[in-house]
Amino acid sequence: DDDSEKARKKAKKAAKKEKEKQKRKGIKHEIKELNEKLGIDNDQRSPLMGESVAEFYARTTDFWNNEAARTVGQTAADRGEPLSAKELKREGFQLAKSRYEELKPILDRLNELEEMQREAEEEKKSKKERKKDRR
Instruction: Give the model confidence (pLDDT) of 89-120 as tens digits.
Output: 999 999 999 999 988 888 888 888 888 888 88
d(CA 109, CA 117): 12
Main-chain dihedrals φ then ψ at residue 79, nearest 5 degrees: -85, -5
d(CA 116, CA 135): 29
b/e burial code for range 92-123 (CB count within 10 A of at least 16 → b): bbebbeebbeebeeebeebeebeebbeeeeee
Q: Are 80 and 27 in contact (CB under 8 A)?
A: no
Q: Which helix (H) or strand (E) holds 59?
A: helix 53-68
Confidence of residue 129 (pLDDT cuts 50, 70, 90): confident
**pTM of the predicted protein model:** 0.63
pLDDT of the residue at 15: 77
pLDDT of the residue at 65: 92
pLDDT tens per residue, range 56-100: 999 999 999 999 988 886 777 777 787 788 999 999 999 999 999
- The whole-number average pLDDT for the span 37-54 is 81
pLDDT at 135 over 70: no
71 DSSP assignment? I
